[in-house]
Amino acid sequence: MPLYHAPTADFQFLLKDWLGLDAHYQKLGIGDFDSELASEIIAQGAKFALDVVAPLNREGDEEGCHLENGSVTTPKGFADAYQEYVANGWNAMLGSADYDGQDLPYTMAVPVHEMLNAANLSWRLTTMLTESAVLAVTKHASDDLKNKYLAKLISGEWTGTMNLTEPHAGTDLSLLNTKAEPQDDGSYKITGNKIFITAGDQDWSSNIVHLVLARLPDAPKGVKGISLFLVPKFLLDDNNEPGEANQVSVGSIEHKMGIKASPTCVMNFDDAIGWLVGEENKGLACMFTMMNDARFQVGLQGLGAAEASYQGALTYARERVQSRAPQGVQNPDGKADPIVFQPDVARMLLTQKSQIEGARALSLFYAKFMDIEKLGTEEEKVHADKVLQFLTPICKAYMTDMGLETTSLGVQVFGGHGFIREWGMEQLMRDVRIAMLYEGTNGIQALDLIGRKLTRDGGDMLNATYQAFNELVEAMTDNDNKALAQGLLDDWRASSADCLGMDATTAASAACDYLAYTAYSLIGVLWFSMADTAAQSDNTVIATAKQKTRDFYIDRILPRRDAHKVAYSAGAESTLAIAASEFDYL
């Protein structure tokens, strides 16, 4: 298994130099936070990821989870690592100070989240869903529910889950059948079955708070008739402590391709007692608070797995000697040269590196707008929300597509050894594959982008996002590269505007290619911006490597956008011309 070390130098460059963290915090009125504190948090997070979480990754994959007598046991060491995580306050980073949270800016927390995903994706999943549950309860639950549950969710004493999917209802939640019967005391009895529930049960926490979508007896049909309920594993006693077991049980644990150390459960609710979160029949809107946060977090899973794979591939390429480099002998004292000097291996490593660092910049740019959406003026919050809505499906889909591509390249760099389990590279590829599926498949993300966020929005989110990226371009100092970046950004906006008139069928056919076109374009702008900042850095390695990596991205990765543009511009005719009976020749 490759030994993961957090890319702290890149985080520090991006936050302090590129994003200008100190000025960002001053503008938001949180001058008590600064880049020095962010650097310390990153350093401590890197140490926790290296020393505590990463060593459990391969062993967790080998051992998996177990269901016995209705209770789930996670791999050896996982629960202990979680207790250390909670004791050190990591779970409380983003929680409200009103409920004993730390209220850290997202720009400080997101780097730690990437590290945890890179160190051990299976382990990170439980804490990720708890953070999303905290957000939903904070924004939508009653004061009574907040007072009972929020502080312990924020601290991590209790964990949270998201219960949407049913055997017959995945993307189309209008089909869900789970029922909620109102009771005289204001509670509800929840009955139904949910599948694919991450950490539906585990041996980490004394209680689990399930957020469950269900229908009231008189609910309207479709998604307009869905409500959200808080359903604890254990009901609370008079001291607000876990008491009587609720009617919630684990039917089974899914046997999966990857993330084997994360318990993915089938959950049964049999007249389980729950409480309404938000308004009746408005549950989907409440749940989207949780889902949109989770979608960005899933994007970080793709980024984390990609970084871990890149580090393993780079270390191996530097150590493995094989043949002579075509450009000349690189290791005169040996019989062969390290494969890092082979042009095709360098191509694979740079394909990983350029996309990973571009995605990391995108994630921190996104985090900056999360800070603004939380702490800015009302006008700034409205603008930031539009940017975040537009970027969310891009972060989720592009970063996870990239995660699969780059972990596959990591296997390829190792050659035959990459296919062998003991090296750990194939696990990264297996683990990250799910990220393209859950929290809405990447095809659904693409439909969301071109449908809700572009064509149906009429261009408001598009223009807000253009403005956000244009500010990066305007801040550049190299006029030649500034002009290239401006041309790239302007072409993207003009091409996107051309899509506004698409009918629903054409847009659906174009969706995945449009998302990819957008992602490669915007990350190209980020690369021009990063390299411009890096050129002024006192760190000569960052100054030169960022510019060289930008050049590789522009020369070898950015041309993909042109192919995607041609594809999405082709229309829906060839996609829909074939009849259902013509997909095979039976």
What amino acid positions are annotated as catalytic residues? Answer: 439
Find out whether 147 and 59 touch, Cβ atoms under 8 Å: no
Instruction: Identify the CA nearest to 396 among candidates 277, 493, 300, 470.
Output: 300
Measured CA to CA, the distance from residue 24 to residue 16 in angstroms comes to 10
Greatest Cα pair distance, the chain, in angstroms, is: 84
Instruction: Identify the CA nearest to 1 among candidates 46, 51, 74, 54.
Output: 54
> In this structure, what token pair is assigned to residue 13?
């460059």
254 CB burial (10 A radius; 0-12, 13-18, 19+): middle
188-198 and 264-277 as β-strands: parallel, antiparallel, unpaired? antiparallel
What one-letter code names the amino acid at 500? L
Find out whether 508 and 556 touch, Cβ atoms under 8 Å: no
The number of C-alpha atoms within 13 Å of 434 and in the hemisphere containing its C-beta is: 22
Measured CA to CA, the distance from residue 499 to residue 572 in angstroms comes to 13
Find out whether 121 and 115 touch, Cβ atoms under 8 Å: no
Measured CA to CA, the distance from residue 349 to residue 309 in angstroms comes to 10
Q: Please name the residues in contact with 478: beta carbons below 8 A apart, sequence gap of 6 or more.
A: 532, 535
Measured CA to CA, the distance from residue 446 to residue 440 in angstroms comes to 10
CB atoms inside a 10 Å sphere around CB 291: 18
Q: Output the CA–CA distances (angstroms, integers) from residue 229 to 205, 462, 552, in the order listed.
A: 20, 34, 49
Cα angle 515, 109, 352 (rounded to 5 degrees) comes to: 45
Measured CA to CA, the distance from residue 50 to residue 118 in angstroms comes to 10
CB atoms inside a 10 Å sphere around CB 76: 11
Measured CA to CA, the distance from residue 392 to residue 131 in angstroms comes to 17
Q: Which DSSP string do the residues of 199-243 spell out, in sequence order?
A: TSS-SS-SEEEEEEEEB-TTPPSGGGG-EEEEEESEEE-TTSSEE
Cα angle 61, 112, 399 (rounded to 5 degrees) comes to: 70
